[in-house]
Amino acid sequence: MTDSCAQRQNQPPLPPAVEEWIRRICIEQNQPPLGVDARKRLATLGEATAIGILRTISRTEIKYSFDGFVLYLASSVQGKHGSSPSRSPTLSASPSKSLCSSLLENRNPAPTVTPVLFDSRVDHNSQSVTPMQLETSDNNPGIVGKPAISPQLEALGELEFRKAFLILSYIGGAPLEKVISVGEIQTLKDLPMYKFEEEVWTSLGSRCGYIKANERTKSIHWDSGKTHTYHCHVTLNGSYKFKGPYLTPTKNVLQRVVGDDNILSVKFEEEKMDDRNLAGCSRDYFATYGRFAREGIFVGLRCYHFFVYKDGGKEEKKKNPTSSPVKCFFVRMESEAKIDCKDYVFSHKTVREARALFVHAESLSSLSKYMVRLSLLLSKTVNMQVNLSEVNIETIPDVQCKV
């Protein structure tokens, strides 16, 4: 047996999600496979923390070695939280299980290791990175951060997305696990959409009072082919609520390419000028919202990342003075829901690679021009049923301008 074969056999198994991040970094940054010591260190940290480390590395140019960078960040994490490998749970993966089923197993956060969020602004000379504790809340699931996968979330991941989103919308930010059981979710699964909405509104929306009656999204046109739009409202404390889905007759270019349910329209609450403290509140404001830019927003077991924005201007501000006129559009980049096992157009891509399908950054002179060009994806389009064989195109002479 060769040394390389023996080394591969001694490598600790890692879950598919971690292996995918390692593979992606090796390809994108032309790095050799990760060594045994680095893999062992990742295996002792817990999956959420391991992915956090690899995500940070993927956004940074590796100056020296992939192994060294992993070991350095792993030491920083363990030093921050006072954890040791002997007390940390070891990740496991079975090669006989499919990717989809493996992603749904062993996802509860380790009791002694807190998931860590890394600032992507890295010093390229020292390759140092400052770890920051990821804020979570048991009382409000709408806090940015990866959710622990409960049986209810797994059951939600088996529903058609618009049905899953409707449940999350009607519970108004309340913990899913405290308002509905797995059995109740499963009994709703096969109902037609109009009946599903009625049942969820009766059992959750109106009975529990999580949302107001005027926020109900009742419709008889669920299957009319209209565009479904999904909204998210983020507050200053970092919590968020879902609204919708709403039906509209038009689609934009982005919706036509990636599909309605892979786009989340996000609006952020603005600070009130009277209450703003430049030394404190504004810093917290940007720090809170900055986490959404780095880590994305979880909708059930889907993770949506910032993709493009659109400024609605003064007219949009008049409609809702308490929220920003800027709409941010997040797209699905990752999912652990069973219904999303099949690949789609952005599967296995970074946000940069996904944007490159539409606009190449290097072809424009500035970031502002790049974002303006990218926002053209949000232009509304309408399909017209035209029989081109019946269209008669005539060439007519120019008419001279008469003064």
Q: From first to last of the 403 residues of the chain, give the pLDDT tens digit.
A: 444 444 445 677 888 888 888 988 888 888 888 888 889 889 888 888 888 889 888 888 888 888 888 888 888 776 655 544 433 333 434 332 332 333 223 333 333 333 333 333 333 333 433 333 333 333 344 445 566 789 999 999 999 999 999 999 999 888 899 999 999 999 999 999 999 999 999 999 887 778 888 999 999 899 999 999 999 999 888 889 999 999 999 999 999 999 999 999 999 887 665 554 544 555 566 777 888 888 899 999 999 999 999 887 666 666 666 666 788 999 999 999 999 998 899 998 999 999 999 988 778 888 888 888 899 999 887 667 788 788 888 888 888 887 6
> For residues 258 and 346, is the Cβ–Cβ distance under 8 A?
yes
Count CB atoms within 10 A of the CB of residue 223.
Answer: 10
Count CB atoms within 10 A of the CB of residue 402.
Answer: 4
C-alpha distances out from residue 402 to 284, 395, 396, 399, Å: 63, 21, 18, 9
Q: Model's pTM, two decimal places?
A: 0.60
Of 303, 178, 334, nearest to 232 by C-alpha is 303
Is residue 112 left, alpha or beta, with left meaning phi > 0 and alpha meaning psi from -120 to 50?
Answer: alpha
Per-domain boundaries in the chain? 16-76, 149-221, 225-382
d(CA 268, CA 266): 7
Q: Is the peptide bond before 245 cis (omega within 30 degrees of 0)?
A: yes
SS3 percent helix, strand, coil of the chain, rounded to 5, is 40, 15, 40
Count CB atoms within 10 A of the CB of residue 330.
Answer: 25
Angle at 354 (CA atoms; ends 61, 115), nearest 5 degrees: 60
Of 304, 283, 282, nearest to 293 by C-alpha is 304
